[in-house]
Structure 1
């Protein structure tokens, strides 16, 4: 892995040390960093599903040394959130323990959302789309059906894909790379 930001390397080491194997893949991370770099001044970034913090580290790295934007990452598992909080985050990154579907309606609007948890992606997707600002971008990974053996999981992924592609509020693309990535932009009302 060449040119991987230091914060990402630290989160990857932490994830590996704890045996956490569900971190976002490098291609997804690089996409997140690229999209985060375009967040406007005063912008807000949200990650649903912190895990060990790798996705949040890519998002923060994309923002660079900007202090005019914020990253909020939500994790329902208190132990995973505690692990992520141990990392050397910039002061404008917040790791919060939360039930995504309960918190999301109260969080306001975001310029970029990475939906990487069941809550907000497999269920509550409408809440996630509603939390996007006009021109806000949504990234959803783990959409490659071949990764799932369970009929239930395959149906959930298909439902999410179909919802994103058919939502009139969104302009979306399904990218068959890495773990399967979808990117959508929210239309102006």
Structure 2
């Protein structure tokens, strides 16, 4: 029988970050299939400008960095310094990556810089909060990716209803085309087709 996990090669630094994540008891680990998809989408945008909302300890960032070319810039935001520090240390020599430790909603509501070719919203900001502000930052032809749309063990009470509302809202966005993947942790991948 074919197994996806057996076909996925891990990106550099992944095991190191995973070990530190486990030592910190960080329980919001990225699924390998989601990571593999992120690496593939990142590779589709050479010289890109990427945004990751929700650094965590840097596991998803490892996949994005592995797919990105040497001219790509990646901005990664999180509000929890103790977790983000793992990623900051792991990627200290990678000049493509900039970290911001700040509330994601505040950052999204005040950001004035260039738009992005890929946004991975892996936190409440950019997904459940400041959604319109985030979608406005996607370049035409760019990707917006969200995960954890299938029930997860760490979901709080009432979260399933929030996911249903989010999905209904996103399906109404006329300037994007999307695919829903009932796979990995449950994903939606969007491409912006017009401003």
* Structure 1 length-normalised TM: 0.91
**Residues 48-94 of structure 1 deviation map (CA, whole Å, 9 limit, x = unaligned):** 0000100111100111xx32111111001122222221113511111
**Residues 84-131 of structure 1 deviation map (CA, whole Å, 9 limit, x = unaligned):** 211135111112102212212414300000000011111111111011
Equivalent residue, structure 2, for 1:76:
79
Equivalent residue, structure 1, for 2:194:
188
Provide the C-alpha distance between the structure 2 equivalents of 1:33 and 1:15, rounded to a whole number of angstroms: 20
Equivalent residue, structure 1, for 2:27:
21
Provide the C-alpha distance between the structure 1 equivalents of 2:156 and 2:23, rounded to a whole number of angstroms: 27
Provide the C-alpha distance between the structure 2 equivalents of 1:113 and 1:131, rounded to a whole number of angstroms: 8
Provide the C-alpha distance between the structure 2 equivalents of 1:15 and 1:149, rounded to a whole number of angstroms: 21
Equivalent residue, structure 1, for 2:149:
143
Write the mapping of 1:91-130 to structure 2, written as runs, cut at 5 A.
Answer: 91-104=95-108, 105-106=110-111, 107-130=113-136
Provide the C-alpha distance between the structure 1 equivalents of 2:57 and 2:152, rounded to a whole number of angstroms: 24
Structure 1 residue ranges without an equivalent (≥5): none
Counterpart secondary structure, 1:6: coil
Provide the C-alpha distance between the structure 2 equivalents of 1:128 and 1:32, rounded to a whole number of angstroms: 18
Write the mapping of 1:19-58 to structure 2, written as runs, cut at 5 A.
Answer: 19-41=25-47, 43-58=48-63
Cα offset, 1:47, TM superposition: 0.4
Q: Does 1:133 align with 2:136?
A: no
* Higher mean C-alpha displacement, 26-35 vs 160-169: 160-169
Q: Does 1:12 align with 2:18?
A: yes
Compute the RMSD of aligned alpha carbons.
Answer: 1.7
Cα offset, 1:146, TM superposition: 6.3
* Higher mean C-alpha displacement, 109-118 vs 99-108: 99-108
8 A contact 2:38–2:67 mirrored in 1: yes
Provide the C-alpha distance between the structure 1 equivalents of 2:10 and 2:149, rounded to a whole number of angstroms: 24
Aligned residue pair count: 185
Cα offset, 1:149, TM superposition: 6.1
8 A contact 2:152–2:185 mirrored in 1: no
